[in-house]
């Protein structure tokens, strides 16, 4: 492998990595770029300019999985056009959760794919690419070794914006009956505290001001020596340069008292909590194997709100889980009315091969799922708009991420996670400004600049 490294460093090669999944999938894509940089690979804007295209896939719902195959079909045509025109070649690799779940089946179905690598094995990419380049047969790596992976990834993080993801926990032992994640990502694993801090410091050195801690069950983080997520957040908050900390996604059963308290005591911890409930009926929650009740969930939210009254609460919902009756669905609507969400993701139940729910009786008809999704989404949209409108007239600190669509317009993030548009200039990018909220829509706030540097 070192031989390959040496020869490859000289020539610059184009790399295109496309994410199809959750935030952790996006983080993994960034890390693949980091792993491949020493081999001379640099990101390009379009797949047709790339010598290597990596599709970083998601297996969570059927639609996500099917998207991969249509994308492979498109890439195949681009690869052939490139070869015909004498513009070199394009290696096509499939990574991520579909790679883990389907393995060699992907190459059987789409022989143009030369390499398949799972989410816990992508640090092996340099040697896998060298093997694929020798064209001596299938190249497949779906091994599971999260410790090994994180140890192999470069600590130094480049190519980040002002806000960056930092994976601290991976995998899931919860086994919700609908979900593929425990199978595609493996067992719960937390990165040691010291390693996480090293990466956080590297992000700060790179100009990052907002760190988003990631995990499939991030609030189950256990960094050793009694360092849970609350203590980790506290330590990261002590780093000079860090202005904002967020974490996602959490499980209601792992919402410990110290983490709830952190929402009241750590100013840099942003007032936003994504705590998926999935459904508002205890019968359905039980069948989902969620291990919490509607009441315990509502109680957790009440406690968090006691600590941080303005907190934005977000959730995920699944409608049409097997056996969900009209009454069960009404209970979900009632819970939503009670909690009042600031934002939410909602999905129709998708039957995933190998999960217990896929074999359950009383699967729900597609048209009923559609109706329920529409009703739920209408209610959630109403609440989201109301939450945003409640900020009108308030002073809001905005972390500016870039330019807006219109000339002279800048774009940033509010503490509660909405986009904020305001008139400003490019010197404000990567800084925190203060605006007055003067308008609100479904996904964004409009602001008027009060202070070009909120920290001054
Ligand atoms: N670990 C996180 C996120 C898991 S996947 C958590 O527990 O919250 C993100 C969301 O996808 C889930 O919260 C769930 O709402 C949805 N999801 C997972 N499996 C699904 C399926 N089979 N059908 C529809 N939605 C699903
Ligand atoms: Fe999937 Fe449940 Fe684990 Fe979340 S907690 S990743 S929904 S099994
Ligand atoms: Fe999808 Fe895997 Fe994330 S299945 S949601 S990319 S953990």
Domains located in the chain, CATH noted: 13-148 (3.40.50.12160), 160-270 (3.30.750.210), 271-390 (3.30.750.200), 395-451 (2.40.50.140)
Instruction: Give 96 Cα–ligand 2 centroid separation in angstroms.
Output: 17
CA dist 9 and 241 (Å) reads 34
Sign, Cα dihedral of 179, 183, 186, 187? positive
Q: Which residue's CA lies nearest to atom 4 of ligand 2? A: 216
User: Tokens 């110290």 identify what position?
Assistant: 258
Q: Give me the phi and psi of 420, to 5 degrees please.
A: -130, 130
Instruction: Give 112 Cα–ligand 1 centroid separation in angstroms.
Output: 30
Q: Span 53-72, mean pLDDT?
A: 94
Q: Of ligand 3's atoms, which has the minimum distance to the CA of residue 59?
A: 4
Q: Ligand 3: which of 32, 60, 188, 345 to mutate, most ligand atoms within 8 Å of CB?
A: 60
* Angle made by CA atoms 30, 344, 146, in degrees to the nearest 5: 35
Q: Of ligand 2's atoms, which has the minimum distance to the CA of residue 216?
A: 6
Share of the chain above pLDDT 90, in %: 90
Pocket-forming residues, ligand 2, beta carbon under 6 Å: 172, 174-176, 179, 181-182, 216-217, 251
DSSP state, 328? H
Residue in 324, 261, 334, 262 with CA at minimum distance from that of residue 298: 334
Q: Which residues pair with 52 in a beta bridge?
A: 15, 91
Q: Span 394-405, mean pLDDT?
A: 96
Q: Ligand 3: which of 58, 63, 316 to mutate, most ligand atoms within 8 Å of CB?
A: 58
Q: Span 34-40, mean pLDDT?
A: 94
Q: Of ligand 1's atoms, which has the minimum distance to the CA of residue 317?
A: 15
CA dist 336 and 127 (Å) reads 49
Question: What pLDDT does 2 receive?
Answer: 40
Q: Which residues pair with 264 in a beta bridge?
A: none
Six-digit token string for 88:
């070199």
pLDDT surpasses 60 at 4: no
The closest ligand to the CA of 178 turns out to be 1
Instruction: Please tell me whether the peptide bond between 281 and the residue prior to it is cis, using omega within 30 degrees of 0.
Output: no
Instruction: Give 184 Cα–ligand 2 centroid separation in angstroms.
Output: 11
pLDDT surpasses 60 at 5: no
Whether 21 lines ligand 3, by a CB cut-off of 6 Å, is yes
* Angle made by CA atoms 229, 235, 239, in degrees to the nearest 5: 135
Cβ proximity of 303 and 277 under 8 Å: no
CA dist 263 and 312 (Å) reads 12
Residues in the chain: 456
Q: Within 10 Å of residue 66's Cβ, how many Cβ atoms?
A: 11
Residues 6 or more apart from 40 whose CB is under 8 A from it? 8, 9, 10, 11, 12, 13
DSSP state, 300? H
Six-digit token string for 311:
């907190």
Cβ proximity of 259 and 149 under 8 Å: no
**3-state secondary structure at position 284:** helix
Share of the chain above pLDDT 70, in %: 97
Q: Ligand 1: which of 179, 289, 343, 349 to mutate, most ligand atoms within 8 Å of CB?
A: 179
Six-digit token string for 262:
């952190």
Q: Ligand 2: which of 119, 170, 176 to mutate, most ligand atoms within 8 Å of CB?
A: 176
pLDDT digits (tens, 9 = 90+) for 191-203: 999 999 999 999 9
Question: What pLDDT does 319 receive?
Answer: 98
pLDDT digits (tens, 9 = 90+) for 258-305: 999 999 999 999 999 999 999 999 999 999 999 999 999 999 999 999
Question: What pLDDT does 161 receive?
Answer: 87
pTM of the model as a whole? 0.93
**H or E stretch at 406:** none
Sign, Cα dihedral of 348, 350, 355, 359? positive
The strands making up 272-274's β-sheet, listed across from edge to edge, are 272-274, 312-319, 343-348
Q: Within 10 Å of residue 440's Cβ, how many Cβ atoms?
A: 20
How large is the angle between the packed helices 257-265 and 229-237, nearest 10 degrees? 20
User: Tokens 């019968």 identify what position?
Assistant: 283
CA 406 to each of CA 330, 425, 432: distance values in angstroms, whole numbers, following the listed order = 42, 12, 20
Q: Which residue's CA lies nearest to atom 5 of ligand 2? A: 174
Q: Which residue's CA lies nearest to atom 13 of ligand 1? A: 316
The closest ligand to the CA of 23 turns out to be 3
CA dist 454 and 435 (Å) reads 9
Whether 184 lines ligand 3, by a CB cut-off of 6 Å, is yes
CB-based burial label for 70 (10 Å; 0-12, 13-18, 19+):
exposed
Residue in 427, 423, 429, 430 with CA at minimum distance from that of residue 408: 423
Instruction: Give 309 Cα–ligand 2 centroid separation in angstroms.
Output: 28
Question: What pLDDT does 151 receive?
Answer: 86
Cβ proximity of 95 and 28 under 8 Å: yes
Q: Of ligand 3's atoms, which has the minimum distance to the CA of residue 21?
A: 6
Question: What pLDDT does 208 receive?
Answer: 96
CA dist 297 and 279 (Å) reads 11
pLDDT surpasses 70 at 146: yes
Q: Span 234-253, mean pLDDT?
A: 97
What distance lies between CA 310 and its chain's CA centroid?
24
CA dist 13 and 72 (Å) reads 20
Instruction: Give 175 Cα–ligand 2 centroid separation in angstroms.
Output: 6
For residues 310-331, b (16+ Cβ closer than 10 Å) or e, as one string? ebbbbbebbbbbbbbeeebbeb
């Amino acid at each position: 492998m070192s031989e390959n490294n040496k020869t490859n460093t000289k020539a610059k090669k184009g790399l295109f990595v496309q994410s199809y999944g959750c935030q952790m999938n996006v983080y993994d894509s960034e890390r693949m770029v980091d792993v491949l940089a020493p081999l001379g690979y640099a990101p390009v804007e379009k797949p047709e300019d790339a010598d290597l295209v990596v599709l970083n896939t998601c297996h969570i719902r059927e639609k996500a999985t099917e998207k991969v195959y249509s994308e492979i079909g498109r890439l195949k045509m681009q690869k052939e056009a490139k070869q015909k025109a004498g513009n070199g070649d394009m290696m096509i690799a499939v990574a991520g959760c579909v790679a883990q779940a389907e393995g060699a089946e992907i190459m059987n179905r789409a022989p143009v794919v030369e390499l398949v690598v799972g989410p816990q094995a992508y640090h092996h990419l340099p040697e896998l690419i060298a093997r694929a380049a020798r064209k001596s047969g299938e190249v497949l790596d779906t091994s599971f070794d999260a410790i090994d992976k994180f140890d192999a990834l470069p600590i130094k993080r480049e190519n980040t914006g002002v806000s960056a993801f930092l994976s601290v926990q991976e995998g899931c032992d919860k086994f919700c009956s609908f979900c593929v994640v425990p199978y595609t990502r493996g067992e719960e694993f937390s990165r040691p505290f010291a390693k996480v801090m090293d990466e956080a410091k590297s992000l700060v050195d790179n100009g990052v001001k907002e760190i988003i801690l990631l995990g499939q069950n991030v609030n189950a983080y256990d960094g050793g020596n009694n360092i849970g997520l609350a203590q980790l957040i506290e330590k990261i908050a002590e780093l000079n340069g860090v202005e904002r900390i967020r974490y996602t996604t959490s499980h209601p059963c792992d919402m410990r008292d110290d983490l709830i308290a952190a929402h009241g005591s750590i100013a840099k911890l942003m007032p936003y909590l994504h705590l998926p409930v999935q459904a508002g009926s205890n019968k359905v929650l039980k069948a989902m194997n969620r291990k919490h009740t509607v009441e315990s969930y509502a109680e957790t939210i009440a406690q968090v709100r006691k600590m941080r009254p303005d907190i934005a609460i977000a959730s995920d919902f699944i409608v049409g889980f097997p056996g969900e009756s009209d009454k069960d669905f009404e209970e979900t609507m009632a819970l939503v009315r009670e909690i009042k969400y600031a934002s939410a993701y909602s999905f129709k139940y998708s039957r995933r091969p190998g999960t217990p729910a896929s074999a359950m009786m009383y699967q729900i008809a597609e048209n009923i799922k559609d109706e329920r999704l529409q009703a739920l989404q209408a209610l959630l949209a109403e609440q989201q708009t109301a939450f945003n409108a409640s900020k009108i007239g308030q002073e809001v600190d905005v972390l500016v991420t870039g330019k807006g669509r219109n000339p002279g317009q800048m774009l940033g993030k509010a503490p509660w996670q909405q986009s904020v548009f305001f008139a400003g200039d490019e010197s404000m990018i990567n800084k925190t400004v203060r605006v007055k909220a003067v308008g609100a829509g479904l996904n964004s706030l409009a602001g008027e600049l009060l202070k070009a540097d909120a920290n001054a």
